[in-house]
Chain A
Amino acid sequence: MRLFLFAIGGTGSRVLKSLIMLSAAGVRPVDENGRPVPNIEIVPVIIDPHKSNEDLKRTEALLTAYRSLRQRLYGNAVNADGFFATRFVTLREIMSEGTIQLNDTFIFNLGAVEREKFRDFIGYDTMNEANQALTSLLFADYQLENRMNIGFVGSPNIGSVALNEIKDSDEFKAFANVFNQGDRIFFISSIFGGTGAAGFPIMVKNIRQAKNLEINNRDVLRKAPIGGLTVLPYFNIEHNDDRRIDKADFIVKTQSALYYYKDTMTGANDSNLNAIFYVGDQEVSKPYTYDPGEHGQRNRAHLVELVGALAPLKFAGMPLNRLSDPDGYPLPTSAFEFALDKDERDVNFLTLRAATRRLVYEPLVRFHLLFLYLRTGFRDQVGQGYTEDAPKIKSDFLNSQFYRTLTDDFMRAYVDWLVEMHDNNRSVSLFSLGETDMNRAITRVATRKGLLGHKSVDNNVFKAEMNRLSRDAGYSEHTVEYKLLDLFNRAATRIIAERYEAIN
């Protein structure tokens, strides 16, 4: 199954970033019995005209790093277990040779939308006087003058016009052509801004009205299971006299958009959207720098984005009979919300409800321990123990592209992500940041008590476990990259179970 994941606007990129982090840790969609969903590929498509958006750039860089790391680990295999298990592919990667030429990127090319002022895009100057007057009623002057390469600046009325072009784009046609029976579609967008609030319903409409499009499998597409994450207001922005984006408008915009969604997608008997996930937070975040777009928009990661990233995983694991009727027609919308177990400002694993904890605790802890091990122990252990088993991990591995991408690019982004979530409000403190002692790395989770005090976890414990596993398993048919990460994953699974207090 392929999950086509459209991340729209800045919030879309940030939620996608959290999903990448979860996937790197090995969090995967699971079915109702808790078993990983097999044969799943995620096709992320970022829709955002604001190409210089720092959050978009960070997410794209992360996706690129993820893809290259996974390629080295598992090649083109769809099914994998452990770190970087879920396969992320571009539209270009899965489309067959044909007339459509796409760049090998995760970003949707919005063509003219990215280059023009809104007034030029709609041909304001060529309109007659009556139409100009009507247009001026619908759009404020600053909206008409908006250069759309910085996005729609919180104006869904711009986005709903500009993004209508999407259905005619090569990317949309390519997506429509590769979409097969059994695949699913998911949208991530905020409801209180411009790009996401407008792009989400337009995309859903275009898919459900696929019968009007000149594509091969329009019938499959219009019956596709579609889910969406609608991110409600969750962050605060610094006050600015400019006021093109104003926190005071967030709730009003949200209400208007929710009414519109209800009328077009999520009404009681409406089956345009099969599942909608709402997430937001009334707890006020630390204010983000006011930036309608001119300065790149780099916002701190937030708990809501981490929670939001669980939505596409949940959707991918839902049984088909909850999304489609026996004839394959989509069922009416089911709505989902998320709650913490405890309404606390400091969020750690114990603050999450049991179902969420079961899904994320072990993978995230394994990944964090990997981060600590690579930072503090691995370099000194090259040339010893398991690294000497075939295939040997030699010192030149430390200079390999894979290792540098993993440690310099990916892990650095991982730390930034943790720090940003920690410094935000709510503060996400899954791990003790800056703590290199593995015994104290997990917030409010200690090591188990043994006969002589607490059991210890350190790099040597990992080395011993990996030595044992390597001796018994044999990795001579695999790459050194796979050997290192698979060994660590298996070692960490055992060590977490044996040496840390059980919280699941």
Chain B
Amino acid sequence: MKKQHYIYLALGIAATLLFYVLRVQAYEAIYSVPGFSDQFYNAGLYDMIPLITIAVPWAAAAIYYYAINSVRFDRWFHWLLVGGISTLLTPIIGYAVNQSVFADLGLSYGAESLSFELANMVWAAVMFVVASFAMRWWSSNCRHTPIPQ
């Protein structure tokens, strides 16, 4: 294995950790509404949603590169399809969690939660790209997807 591949993996993990450390700023940069954002913070959702936004794309990338890992699904559009599914799935799960937590608190932020999760698709997509470029190198069939090494 090339040393450079381990560097990519380390960089991917570092970028992901950085995202988690700077999660509040990262989310407020893409979506911030007075009231909703305060409640979001108070409910601890700025801890939970980033975890989902990290976990789903990393899991999707891992499934693509190491579970699917097929010569029949090794083209860029296959990767894009998995990335698209991950990017849609992340806000769906996030929205469900948002709504559940707010409901427990007796709050109703349906529209704001939807807008927030739509904005969160940006971070979900970014995380999928980061995860892909961190882990793809050891895949036997898909290491050159989406672009060759």
Which residues of A line the B interface, CB within 8 A?
383-385, 388-389, 392, 460, 463-464, 467-468, 471
- What residues of chain A lie closer than 8 Å to B72, measured between beta carbons? 460
A384 engages B140 (CB within 8 Å): no
A463 engages B149 (CB within 8 Å): no
A384 engages B143 (CB within 8 Å): no
How far, in angstroms, from A463 to B143 measured CA to CA in the complex? 13
A464 engages B140 (CB within 8 Å): yes
A384 engages B75 (CB within 8 Å): yes
A385 engages B141 (CB within 8 Å): yes
Pick the contact of B140: A383, A388, A460, A467 (CB < 8 A). A467
B71 engages A385 (CB within 8 Å): yes
**9 closest Cβ contacts across the A-B interface?**
A388-B148, A468-B140, A388-B144, A463-B71, A460-B71, A464-B71, A467-B141, A467-B140, A471-B140
B71, B138, B141, B148 — most chain A CB neighbours (10 Å): B71
How far, in angstroms, from A474 to B76 measured CA to CA in the complex? 23
Q: Would you mind naming 25 contact pairs between A and B with Cβ atoms under 8 Å apart?
A: A383-B148, A384-B74, A385-B71, A385-B74, A385-B141, A385-B144, A388-B149, A389-B144, A389-B149, A392-B148, A460-B71, A460-B72, A463-B71, A463-B141, A464-B71, A464-B140, A464-B141, A467-B71, A467-B140, A467-B141, A468-B140, A468-B141, A471-B138, A471-B140, A471-B143
Question: How many residues in B have their beta carbons less than 8 Å from beta carbons of A?
Answer: 12
Q: State the Cβ distance, B128 to closest chain A Cβ, in Å.
A: 21
How far, in angstroms, from A413 to B70 measured CA to CA in the complex? 35
- What residues of chain B lie closer than 8 Å to A460, measured between beta carbons? 71-72
Interface of B is mostly: loop
- What residues of chain B lie closer than 8 Å to A471, measured between beta carbons? 138, 140, 143
- What residues of chain A lie closer than 8 Å to B143, measured between beta carbons? 471
Chain A residue nearest to B137 (CB atoms) is A471
How far, in angstroms, from A166 to B95 measured CA to CA in the complex? 93
Further pairs besides A383-B148, A388-B144, A464-B140: 9, Cβ < 8 Å: A384-B71, A384-B74, A384-B75, A460-B71, A463-B141, A464-B141, A467-B141, A468-B141, A471-B140
Q: State the Cβ distance, A240 to closest chain B Cβ, in Å.
A: 57
How far, in angstroms, from A467 to B137 measured CA to CA in the complex? 12
Tell me the residues in window 53-84 of chain B with beta carbons closer than 8 Å to chain A beta carbons: 70-72, 74-75
- What residues of chain A lie closer than 8 Å to B70, measured between beta carbons? 464
- What residues of chain A lie closer than 8 Å to B140, measured between beta carbons? 464, 467-468, 471
How far, in angstroms, from A389 to B140 measured CA to CA in the complex? 11
Q: State the Cβ distance, B111 to closest chain A Cβ, in Å.
A: 45
Q: State the Cβ distance, B102 to closest chain A Cβ, in Å.
A: 47
How far, in angstroms, from A383 to B141 measured CA to CA in the complex? 13
Per-position contact with A for B126-149: 1 when CB-CB < 8 Å, else 0? 000000000000101101100011
- What residues of chain B lie closer than 8 Å to A463, measured between beta carbons? 71, 141
How far, in angstroms, from A388 to B76 measured CA to CA in the complex? 14
B70, B72, B141 — most chain A CB neighbours (10 Å): B141
How far, in angstroms, from A190 to B140 measured CA to CA in the complex? 52
Q: State the Cβ distance, B52 to closest chain A Cβ, in Å.
A: 32
Chain B residue nearest to A464 (CB atoms) is B71
How far, in angstroms, from A388 to B141 measured CA to CA in the complex? 11
Chain A residue nearest to B140 (CB atoms) is A468
Chain A residue nearest to B141 (CB atoms) is A467
Chain A residue nearest to B144 (CB atoms) is A388
Q: State the Cβ distance, B107 to closest chain A Cβ, in Å.
A: 51
Chain B residue nearest to A381 (CB atoms) is B71
Q: State the Cβ distance, A473 to closest chain B Cβ, in Å.
A: 12
